[in-house]
Structure 1
Amino acid sequence: MITLLSAPSNLGLRPPERGSVPGAAKAPEALRDAGLFARFVERGASDSGVVLAGRYVDDDDTRPAGRVRNESAMIDHSQRLATRIGAAIDRGEAPLVIGGDCAILLGAGLATARRGGVGLVHIDGHTDFRHPGNSDECASVAGEALAAAVGAHWPSIADIDGLAPYFRSEHTAHIGHRADDEDQDEVRGILGSVAPAADVTSLGAARVGAESAAVAGPAYWLQLDVDVLDPTIMPAVDSPDAGGISAAELTALLRELAPRAIGASITVFDPDLDPDGRYARLLVEVLTAGLGELGTRVRRP
């Protein structure tokens, strides 16, 4: 059975303007208002409540070198989110975590690592592989979450509770980056499978999904950053880039991947960029159609 869990954190994002606060933390309630929770509950899902994050602070003027934005609050939220995700897994449920920014992947990684580990299928319009080894600008975990998840970041976020790597790189599949992603060559040399957005279109969503699932193994976490969609379809994200996939392609990809996923997380939708709610309603249609079979054929660790 699916259980929905809200994780309204924006701690891993850069501020859209100096001193301002990103809107991604509003996503769970915006999607609830658009009918997402009701649609899943009608199908038998439960609602496991919310894991609140600490206050977002634009700490660029005070943050010391070697730390990411809102680091202490992010670690605390990741640990508490991991406890709630883990409890759902232990009950035999498939947690569907509605974020929030991509840094909530840390909480999912902690939860699964505590239980022996699973694979990861990472769907994102970017590789999210900025890290201290390839950039002097590390600060926002939302653009660095995949690197942290496979242990390629500062230990403070990549080795919380001594559990690094949260996901083994050879059992991690990434899908959806654009052709000009600056870190794609590096991830191709590290991860088990890497498929750009163009592959989903040229090879078909079902094939890319099946090949990614084979790499991730018999149980995996499914992470979806909605900026994998083309910005003509989904502009309500912090980093919209041309060359993304269609809503139909994403739905087909999720249908292929969801049954063997032990849980899933949805991130980076920004309701501040969706004043009339049209993009929230689109996501409700994609997620309910694509994730309805979440966890139904997973081999639990």
Structure 2
Amino acid sequence: MIAIVSAPTNLGLRPPVPGAVPGTAKAPEALREAGLHHVLLRRGAVEAGVVLPGRYVDDPGRPVGTLRNQDAIVEHARRLAPRLVELRRGGHAPLVLGGDCSLVVAAGLAARVSGGGGLVHVDGHTDFRNPGNSAAIGALAGEDLAAAIGRHLPEIADIDGLGPYFDPAATAHVGCRRDDDFLEEVTAAIALTIPADQIILHGGARAASRILDSPGLERGFWLQVDVDVLDPEHMPAVDSPDPGGLTPDELIAFLRLAAPRAWGASVTVLDPDLDPDGTHARTVATVIAEGLDRLGEEAEQPED
């Protein structure tokens, strides 16, 4: 049974313009307004509350080599992770509505203490910027995959000595563009990488089959979905839209097959500030309702 958790964080993003804050914190309620909760609750889902983040601070004067909102991100992860563990042990499949991609850290902490298996990272970017390949680290939403497999600052990638949160051999990425700066590096680092053009050519169902057949993911996984995997023609309401992405139908086809194996999922980066009439929130609500409706049905049970 799906348990809906709101996690309205914007802590991992850069400010959209000087003096402003990212709008992703508004996404869970924008999705509610789009009708998502009504649909899911009618199908038997339950609401499991909200885990609020700390205050967003741009902090341009922070020390070099640290993350924007670093302490607040760690604190939020420490509070969200036990909620996920509790829900999983109670027989629920957590569906976390973000927020930004820094939520992967909380999912990783939860996975480490409950035997959560691998990670399937669906995103229009590899999110693999890290101290080993860039001097420009600072926004975790563009660095979350690196943190998830232990390729980042220990302060974020080894919280409470639990890193790496996901074994690289049990990690897959889906949806980046071919011109992603870190595609070659991430392909060498993890079990499976499926760029968006392969899904466009061969379909979402084939991509999902490759995930499900991948050694290391047979025990299940956390499913992280950044909606910028969609092409800007369909989803411009994100902080970093890039051409060459998926259609909603292609993403739904992938999720329908992948989601039953996932013990939980997070959906991130919708920015309602860029969607004043709610059109794009309704698109995301449709993707979730049609693609994730069987979330967790075939997932392995957690460790005691």
Deviation at 1:147, TM superposition (A): 0.2
- Paired residues of 1:21 and 1:56 also in contact (CA < 8 A): yes
1:45 match: 45
Counting only pairs closer than 5 Å after superposition, residues 244-259 of structure 1 correspond to structure 2 as 244-259=245-260
Structure 1 unmatched ranges of 5 or more: none
Deviation at 1:4, TM superposition (A): 0.2
2:222 match: 221
1:102 match: 101
In the alignment, does 2:184 pair up with 1:167?
A: no
Deviation at 1:239, TM superposition (A): 0.1
Aligned AA (1:44):
G
- Paired residues of 2:116 and 2:222 also in contact (CA < 8 A): no
Aligned length: 300
1:179 match: 178
For the residues of structure 2 that align with 1:217 and 1:235, how far apart are their CA atoms?
Answer: 34
1:88 match: 87
Deviation at 1:217, TM superposition (A): 2.2
Q: Deviations over 1:229-267 (max 9, x none)?
A: 000000000000000011100010100101010000000
Aligned AA (2:240):
S
For the residues of structure 2 that align with 1:294 and 1:172, how far apart are their CA atoms?
Answer: 18
Counting only pairs closer than 5 Å after superposition, residues 272-291 of structure 1 correspond to structure 2 as 272-291=273-292
Aligned AA (1:293):
R
Deviation at 1:213, TM superposition (A): 2.5
In the alignment, does 2:28 pair up with 1:19?
A: no
Q: CA RMSD in A?
A: 0.8
Deviation at 1:117, TM superposition (A): 3.9
Deviation at 1:66, TM superposition (A): 2.3
Deviation at 1:273, TM superposition (A): 0.3
Aligned AA (1:253):
F
| TM-score of the aligned structures, taking structure 1 as reference length | 0.98
Q: Deviations over 1:128-162 (max 9, x none)?
A: 00000000000000000000000000000000011
- Paired residues of 2:116 and 2:263 also in contact (CA < 8 A): no
Q: Which runs of 4+ in 1 moved over 4 A?
A: none
Q: Deviations over 1:57-110 (max 9, x none)?
A: 01012x112210000111000010001111100101000000000001101110
Aligned AA (1:188):
T
For the residues of structure 2 that align with 1:139 and 1:274, how far apart are their CA atoms?
Answer: 26
- Paired residues of 2:87 and 2:94 also in contact (CA < 8 A): yes
Q: Deviations over 1:159-214 (max 9, x none)?
A: 00111111100110100000100100001101100010001111221111111123
In the alignment, does 2:30 pair up with 1:6?
A: no
For the residues of structure 2 that align with 1:161 and 1:264, how far apart are their CA atoms?
Answer: 23
